[in-house]
Structure 1
């Protein structure tokens, strides 16, 4: 049996559409087309029972390289630190001040989208700088 190469990352959240749109803006992902015979996702969701309206959403990498992101509504709020998080690779190949400046610029862009800057971890003898952030619902991720 060959190893699985394709996977999806699933987010539990309160507002799947809002969180999906945030991650589309962060990663350059795209929203899928609405189901056939619907002009918009809003039109589709209005046909669902009230409790299912906006209960899930997804987005995909337009290049097909990255994983699909799936967002599902759950009743409970986020309580503790994520056990898994995304590393957004904004500084790949960069070191020192150039890396930090690139990460800080990307951090500023993401804050404009609704992210929260938690802390900056500065380079040391073992690691390059990275920035810990939270998305629009408080899920941690790193700019690295």
Structure 2
């Protein structure tokens, strides 16, 4: 039986990080529960104090194909390199200079939105097609692939 997955990020600012990843992936913020126009209205009705209203956030693939991304506030900061990371397929089907140009354009777009560029790996056929390693605003590594 196939299983659905959710990718969970521990972070300091769930609202900001979920907005960043929604932008990166073309996702959208998860809607508030039925009967509420905003999350703030829903959380108020649930009795969640204002200081806890940014404890979690989630984004969804509008097509329903990709996994839900869930962001939860934790007290500790990032400690080490991620052992699991996302590969953002920013240049599917492209090779060589066209591929690297597309990856560079996406790296520039995401840097303007708070990402940090960490490294560029040049194409080395037949197995390596080139990629750019980035970090999100809280330092979580991901690759533009």
* TM-score category of the 2 structures, normalised to the smaller one: over 0.9
| Contiguous gaps of at least 5 residues in structure 2 | none
Could you say which residue in structure 2 is the equivalent of 1:30? 28
CA-based RMSD of the aligned residues comes to 1.4
Q: Which of the residues 3, 6, 11 maps onto 2:9?
A: 11
| Contiguous gaps of at least 5 residues in structure 1 | none
Is 2:19 aligned against 1:21?
yes
- Give the structure-1-normalised TM-score: 0.92
- Mapping of residues 50-89 of structure 1, within 5 Å: 50=50, 52-89=52-89
Distance 1:95 1:5 in 2: 33
Alignment length, in residue pairs? 142
Structure 1 stretches of 4+ with a deviation exceeding 4 A read none
Kept in 2: contact 1:45–1:54 (CA 8 A): no
Kept in 2: contact 1:122–1:130 (CA 8 A): yes
SS of residue in 2 equivalent to 1:57: strand
- Give the structure-2-normalised TM-score: 0.91
Distance 1:36 1:5 in 2: 26
Distance 1:113 1:12 in 2: 20
Q: Displacement of 1:49 after TM fit?
A: 2.7
